[in-house]
């Protein structure tokens, strides 16, 4: 077979590849609303719109204070759905794809296991990390997102896991922020009472 014939076949394969890739990209962007899904992930997993989370933390407080084995994921999911329906998130058509999860390990342990998987160690150093004796849903709560094929070609399980880890960190920061605000308010009340009693 001559070089010219090989070149012709390569050009045909390249043209077919570019056509198929372009059609798949258009399908994902237009029919399956890739940009809408990415915006939704930004809203919920990166807390771009955090009003739903504040409401959720208020109504799910008792459940989140339980140990991971005692938490009802179904109850958390219904509370999350309620928080989404009663905040600005209700306007997002993708909010129904959000799922509650309760992990079995803390964020530090999860990050350590992920690091060990990425560098393919035969013996994991993460076994040296001991979990705290009393962890609650506040340390193990996470959100996930339903991603159907063909969107899963772009929003892979690996990418979602990284988003979840970021969410867990932001969720913990939000919890600490709320605790600090509560402590500050109590301090202000005590200060005012002490000042009036002088």
- The string of pLDDT tens digits covering residues 23-77 is 888 888 888 888 989 988 898 899 887 788 889 999 999 999 999 889 999 999 9
- The confidence score (pLDDT) of residue 193 equals 75
Is it the case that residue 6 has pLDDT exceeding 60? yes
Any idea what the CATH number is for the domain that residue 57 is in?
1.20.120.1900
**Overall domain count for the chain:** 1
Residues whose CB falls within 8 Å of the CB of residue 146, separated by 6 or more in sequence, listed in order: 97, 98, 99
In a domain, 18, yes or no: no
Q: What percent of the chain has pLDDT over 90?
A: 27
Residue 81 makes CB contacts below 8 A (sequence gap 6+) with none
In this predicted structure, what is the pLDDT of residue 64?
Answer: 92
**Domain range spanning residue 96?**
32-197
Residue 10 lies in a domain: no
Whether 20 is in a domain gets the answer: no
In a domain, 104, yes or no: yes
The answer to whether residue 16 is domain-embedded is no
Residue 169 CB contacts under 8 Å (≥ 6 apart), including other chains = 107
Whether 127 maps to a domain, the answer reads: yes
Identify whether 21 is part of a domain.
no
Q: What is the pLDDT of residues 92-113, one digit of tens each?
A: 888 888 899 998 888 888 787 7
Does residue 136 form part of some domain? yes
pTM of this prediction exceeds 0.85: no
Q: Are 68 and 62 in contact (CB under 8 A)?
A: no
- Band (pLDDT 50/70/90 cuts) for residue 169 is very high
pLDDT attached to residue 91:
84
What pLDDT does 123 receive?
Answer: 44
Q: State residue 47's pLDDT score.
A: 87
Task: Using pLDDT thresholds of 50, 70 and 90, give the confidence band for residue 126.
Answer: very low
């Amino acid at each position: 077979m001559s070089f010219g014939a090989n070149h012709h076949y390569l050009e045909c394969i390249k043209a077919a590849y570019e056509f198929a890739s372009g059609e798949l990209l258009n399908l994902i962007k237009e029919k399956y609303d890739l940009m809408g899904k990415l915006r939704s992930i930004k809203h919920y997993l990166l807390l771009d719109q955090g009003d739903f989370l504040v409401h959720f933390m208020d109504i799910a407080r008792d459940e989140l204070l339980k140990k991971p084995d005692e938490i009802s994921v179904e109850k958390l999911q219904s509370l999350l759905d309620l928080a989404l329906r009663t905040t600005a998130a209700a306007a997002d058509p993708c909010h129904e794809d959000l799922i509650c999860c309760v992990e079995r390990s803390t964020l530090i342990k999860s990050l350590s296991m992920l690091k060990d998987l990425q560098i393919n160690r035969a013996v994991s150093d993460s076994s040296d990390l001991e979990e705290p004796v009393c962890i609650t849903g506040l340390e193990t709560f996470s959100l996930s997102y339903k991603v159907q094929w063909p969107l899963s070609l772009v929003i892979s399980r690996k990418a979602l896991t990284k988003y979840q880890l970021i969410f867990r960190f932001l969720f913990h920061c939000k919890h600490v922020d709320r605790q600090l605000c509560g402590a500050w308010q109590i301090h202000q009340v005590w200060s005012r009472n002490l000042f009036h009693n002088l």
